[in-house]
Structure 1
Amino acid sequence: MFEVIYMKADYEPWWAFEGWEEHIVKKMTFEQEEEAINYLNQTLDEFRVKFPNEQAKGDKYWAFWSMKEQCYCESCEDELQIYHGLIWNTPK
């Protein structure tokens, strides 16, 4: 199975902090790699139009963000950036 996972959190997806699964917005599962790659590329294209900033780690993680989208952290008394992360998960 091939998966494309969309998560939204105040950290980039490659950190995968404990409980990161709670930040999953959408998970798409595909049996065919070609179908999964098409979906991933379509989603990447959409995010590149929607968000002005992008960073990637390897061929597995992408983070997108806009400086306008932040949330307030009470414990650190500061604004935190919100990231829209995509994760490409392939069979091992």
Structure 2
Amino acid sequence: MAYQVIKMYGDFEPWWFLDDWQEDITAIKEFQVYEDALAYYQEEWQSLQEQFPKVNSKSNLMSAFWRTDDQRWCEECGENLQQYHSLLMLGNWQELPEDLQDLDFEHRNAEGIHPSCSIKQHNTLS
């Protein structure tokens, strides 16, 4: 199995997997060994936590970091959309199975803002 550690920047937290979620990818690093991917994820997670005051991080190794003043205006839906710096780890581009998830990364000091942008459609990984 190949493991991807992915950085994203966009309107939604990474676990939503909207139809165009891959358009928000800013960086991908791929690993063949789970422990190497996890170590890299941990380094990136720590760096993002130091940069951004708000965090919502899940045991499935998907995390969102943000500042409340980092928003963009959406013309299509007529509202400000919170912008998230996201980090996620996938296996073969799929959510990791439960036995590879890590409770040490489950951390939350805020809830993200979930706007009802009418142009985005919810999807799941396939």
How does the TM-score come out when normalised to structure 2?
A: 0.68
Q: Counterpart amino acid of 1:29? A: E
Structure 2: give runs of 5+ residues left out of the alignment.
98-126
1:12 corresponds to: 13
In structure 2, what is the equivalent of residue 48 of structure 1? 49
- Runs of 5+ unmatched residues, structure 1: none
Q: Tell me the distance in 2 between the aligned counterparts of 1:90 and 1:75.
A: 34
**CA displacement at 1:54 relative to structure 2:** 0.4
Amino acid at match of 2:13: E
**Superposed displacement of residue 3, structure 1:** 1.0
Give the number of equivalent residue pairs: 92
Q: Distance in 2 between matches of 1:37 and 1:76?
A: 37
Distance in 2, Cα, partners of 1:65 & 1:28: 22
Offset from partner CA, 1:30-77 (integer Å, 9 cap, x none): 112222111100000000000000002332210110012110011222
Q: Distance in 1 between matches of 2:73 and 2:9?
A: 15
Indicate the SS of the match to 1:40. Answer: helix
What is the aligned partner in structure 2 of residue 85 from structure 1? Answer: 86
Q: TM-score, normalised by structure 1?
A: 0.91
The separation in 2 between residues aligned to 1:17 and 1:58, in whole angstroms, is 20
Identity of aligned residues (%): 33
